[in-house]
A and B are shown apart, each in its own frame.
Chain A
Amino acid sequence: MAQWIDACATDDIDEEDLIRFDHDGRTFAIYRSPDDEFFCTDGLCTHEQVHLVDGLVMDYVIECPKHNGQFDYRTGEAKRAPVCVNLATYPAKVENGRVLIEV
């Protein structure tokens, strides 16, 4: 059953950037948008399972470091080939300077 997990402090993520968060044998990516909102997706690209953490956040897009595939990290939508399969997203919220994700 999904539960809220304390993932990191808000300050752990730079603006327009992401970090990797591993939990319970799974890997996630947590994003801080240019508008200071936080989002969470699966941590691995749906194309070839590469960690997205080495990629580049541009506005609301995460670009995968391997083949430059892109996702909208708010919705997980695959935006640019070679990614075709959407990325799973998870709810994220901020409480007392901490980022919580529901996974």
Chain B
Amino acid sequence: MDRGVLMASVGSQPSSGLSPAMAGMEFSDAEVMLRVRTGDQSAFDYLVQKYRRPLVGFMYRMARNTAAAEDLAQEVFLRVYRSRETYEPSAKFTTWLYRIATNLAVNHARDTRHERPEVTVSIDEPDEDTGATFEVPDGTLTAEQAMVRRERLLAIRRKVEALPERQRLAVIMHKYQQMDYKQIAEVLKLSESATKSLLFRAYETLREQLKEFV
């Protein structure tokens, strides 16, 4: 996850062009971050392009709405930028990045703990809360099927949200950010075995509580 191929000619995923010095070479994100430290703006843009989508996704599942998720993801990048001068590649870049993200997400969750808006969604409108449209492109779902699907989505979201903080973080990183035990352990400052059991318990809870939707 940490090692990205920085090809200036390669298109979409990180799409920003890098400075000529870096184009066509392979760098780890930590090395790119050291370029940011020397004032290379294109290196920072590269990191933004590479991690904006995963970070918005992470924040979206930790916060409760899209606007807050984007705000928080931007805040992560601002903090990365602010700490460019003192960045030391002692940990994997993504571990460091997700530690910043986790702190912001946890803070936000604690600050907004009491704001629990009731979810209201209609079938054909994009849901403010889940960001999902319940319309199916080929239109094969009946209104009733769409309703069932909506119920299921809300249940998934609520059950993940109801997990204890650390379990929720671990599940989101594992399931949706494709991070392995080792990395999650590093971000959460836990042992690997503690992380394994944390995840195991979390999935057991989810399996049990979502049984009716399987």
B and A form one assembly: no
- B-binding residues in A (CB < 8 A): none
